[in-house]
Homo-oligomer: A and B are copies of this chain.
């Protein structure tokens, strides 16, 4: 790699790190392009040259932390359906540990303000991981045979993204996140499942429902 590309990669790294740290320290309040640029010791224009927009930077941060805890990919579970919900639980566990950080991240990532017109919220690796799970489930006969798994996966992603959006817009608490996404996943997966596999998913559905109803009652009391 040339010296130029090297320096560029270094700047990129510094910018992502600066954004990550700023979110960690000050929340979304202190996350301005000027602050990011100053912290990364680059000019205000440089992040635009290297990333294109603020949203792209935030998405890079999101990918950065994701890579970190995508290790659960090699978890071994007998049932692929079980693995889906297990992965969900692990993933959202990080959110519960550091809600301010992730809420800011998603808030900026879902910001439709710009003109770029690309989501890029799902990487090829993540796609491959989930797709493999669905393929396995379908081969096991758990899912409808003639269902397009690409569309099913897209639907699950929609549920996930929508829940993040609801969280960001204030319609959801952190402790409701897992149950909310889980309920949506269970609904969709039961809808995609063959009769034999439905009871197990239905059980999860009811579990998440209990959690959500409980936290809703608690919210009404307050």
On A, residues with C-beta under 8 Å from B are 107, 110-113, 116-119, 144, 146-148, 150-152, 155, 158-159, 161-163, 165-166, 168-171, 183-184, 186-193, 195, 201-202, 205-206, 209, 212-213, 216
A112: which of B147, B148, B159, B168 is its contact (CB, 8 Å)?
A: B168
Q: Are B119 and A166 in contact (CB under 8 A)?
A: yes
Please list 9 pairs of residues, one from A and one from B, whose beta carbons are closer than 8 Å in the complex, sorted by A's number.
Answer: A107-B112, A111-B113, A118-B169, A151-B212, A152-B187, A159-B162, A186-B191, A187-B187, A188-B188
How many copies of the shown chain assemble into the complex? 2
Contact of A190 among B159, B190, B213 (CB under 8 A): B190
Say what secondary structure dominates the interface of chain A.
helix
A144, closest chain B residue (CB): B202
The 5 closest A-B pairs by CB, nearest first: A117-B170, A191-B191, A162-B162, A190-B191, A158-B162
Are A119 and B170 CB-contacts (below 8 A) given A111-B111, A195-B195?
A: yes
Instruction: Tell me whether A187 and B192 are in contact (CB under 8 A).
Output: yes
Asked if residues A188 and B184 are in contact (CB atoms below 8 Å), the reply is: yes
11 additional contacts (CB under 8 A) given A111-B112, A151-B209, A155-B184: A110-B110, A117-B170, A118-B171, A146-B206, A158-B162, A158-B163, A159-B159, A159-B162, A187-B191, A188-B188, A190-B191
In the complex, the answer to whether A148 meets B111 with C-beta atoms within 8 Å is no
CB distance from A34 to the nearest CB of B (A): 17
- A60 to B17: give the CA distance in the assembly, Å: 40
Contact B116 A170 (CB under 8 A): yes
In whole angstroms, what is the CA distance A189 to B192 when docked?
Answer: 10
Measured between C-beta atoms, what is the minimum distance from A78 to chain B in Å?
22
User: Shortest beta-carbon distance, A185 to chain B, in Å?
Assistant: 10
